[in-house]
Amino acid sequence: MMHLSSLQVCTAVLTLALAAAVPASTPHHVARRSFFNLQCKGVFDAAIFARLDRICDDCYTLFREPQLYSLCRSNCFTTPYFKGCMESLCLMDEEEELDQLIDFIGKR
């Protein structure tokens, strides 16, 4: 039986996520509407919103759970599902930075 280190697992997960990546082509007005639908009350920044949304999209791609994308994004990326997706995608070393981005757009 083969045992993988956590670094190997993270590398494999990121490789899969990047292989499935499609350039973001969401029009600006759709992203802005989505921003307000998620109860974000901070400053709308398309680049920040796209970065956070991409985490949820990659997480959905990884697990293929129909509700995961919505749960990850709900309450402006502040649910435990978003943190779970960060962990699954090996992004916990970016947690402080991502929390600052969420604070900026979400005004928690």
* Domain at 84, CATH number: 1.10.2010
Residue 85 resides in a domain: yes
What pLDDT is stored for residue 20 in this prediction? 46
pLDDT band at residue 40, thresholds of 50, 70 and 90? confident
Whether residue 102 lies inside any domain: the answer is yes
Residue 56 in any domain: the answer is yes
Whether 88 has a pLDDT exceeding 60, the answer reads: yes
Which structural domain range is residue 102 located in? 47-108
* Residue 42 scores a pLDDT above 50: yes
87 located within any domain: yes
Domain count, the chain: 1
On the question of pLDDT at 87 being above 70, the answer is: yes
SS3 percent helix, strand, coil of the chain, rounded to 5, is: 70, 0, 30
* Residue 14 domain-assigned (yes or no): no
Q: How far apart are CA 50 and CA 105, in angstroms?
A: 11
